[in-house]
């Protein structure tokens, strides 16, 4: 069993980006909008700012009060869409209840949508003609590649069907010629389906959900979950101590997929800069 070190893979991705920005003498800027005072969101935003520094990008933070109106938020997005210094725009989710997340995502220019949540970018991922990939699934692919595993022809099972992870994850595996099964809360005989997987990706958001009887010997297991267990300790979807001995490779939580998500955001922001330059 080998533990996949997300911190190390993420550091190498960020270093490549830093070298590229230096080599081509680029000015790259990422705008991050945070509304209200969700503590988890604040931690994520601070991590994104740190990653920008490491990569040699500018970061612009817009911290808006909880009571910000939809009109004010959409006006800010419009301003950022038209600001040439801003190459990527990210609106930290979840938003306060009175704001329409879908409307906010759709307001971001598809050329600056570095989360790849806009319907245009989602459609491009479906047909395989994309510039940006959602950061978490893209990070998962990078981790799988780092193990030297060839995805082509493999049986892959994705647990979870969210628009942010599960669905795009299935598409990326499919683009690399895997045979993909997407499981969810209504799936019958879940353990049996999971046991077929050469590569198992869990993005269900339930602590210790994946147990040893759900995993085939020698499988690659990627744990996207970020949960708190009964002792309030950070943990994934996978019962790590029980599952790890069966795997050829497994990601830990923390230190697996988490660092990759931010590294891929940096990659998308650099890609956005290049796209905008070619459209000038």
Q: Which residues are catalytic?
A: 48, 92, 115
269: number of Cβ within 10 Å: 28
Across the strands, what pairs with 158? 182, 201
CA 253/CA 170 separation, integer angstroms: 21
Helix axes 135-146, 166-175, angle to 10 degrees: 40
**Local structure of residue 93 (DSSP, 8 states):** S
**Local structure of residue 92 (DSSP, 8 states):** P
58: Cα within 13 Å, side-chain hemisphere: 11
H or E element, residue 227: strand 227-228
CB 157 within 8 A of CB 197: yes
């Amino acid at each position: 069993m080998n533990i996949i070190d997300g911190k190390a893979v993420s550091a190498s991705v960020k270093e490549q980006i830093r070298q590229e920005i230096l080599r081509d003498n680029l000015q790259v800027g990422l705008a991050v909008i945070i509304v209200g005072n969700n503590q988890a969101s604040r931690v994520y935003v601070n991590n994104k700012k740190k990653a920008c520094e490491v990569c040699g990008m500018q970061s612009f933070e817009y911290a808006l009060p909880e009571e910000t109106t939809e009109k004010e938020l959409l006006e800010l997005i419009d301003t950022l869409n038209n600001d040439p210094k801003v190459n990527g725009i990210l609106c930290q989710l979840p938003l306060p209840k009175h704001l329409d997340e879908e409307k906010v995502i759709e307001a971001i220019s598809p050329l600056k949508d570095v989360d790849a949540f806009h319907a245009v970018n989602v459609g491009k991922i479906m047909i395989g003609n994309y510039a940006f990939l959602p950061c978490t699934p893209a990070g998962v692919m990078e981790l799988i590649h780092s193990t030297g595993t060839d995805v082509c022809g493999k049986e892959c099972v994705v647990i979870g069907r969210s628009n942010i992870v599960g669905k795009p994850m299935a598409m990326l595996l499919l683009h690399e010629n895997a045979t993909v099964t997407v499981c969810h809360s209504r799936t019958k005989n879940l353990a049996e389906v999971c046991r077929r997987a050469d590569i198992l990706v869990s993005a269900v958001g339930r602590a210790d959900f994946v147990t040893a009887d759900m995993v085939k010997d020698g499988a690659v297991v990627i744990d996207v979950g970020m949960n708190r267990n009964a002792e309030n300790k950070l943990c994934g979807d996978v019962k790590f101590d029980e599952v790890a001995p069966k795997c050829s490779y497994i990601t830990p939580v923390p230190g697996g997929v988490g660092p990759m998500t931010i590294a891929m955001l940096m990659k998308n922001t650099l890609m956005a800069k290049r796209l905008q330059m070619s459209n000038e």
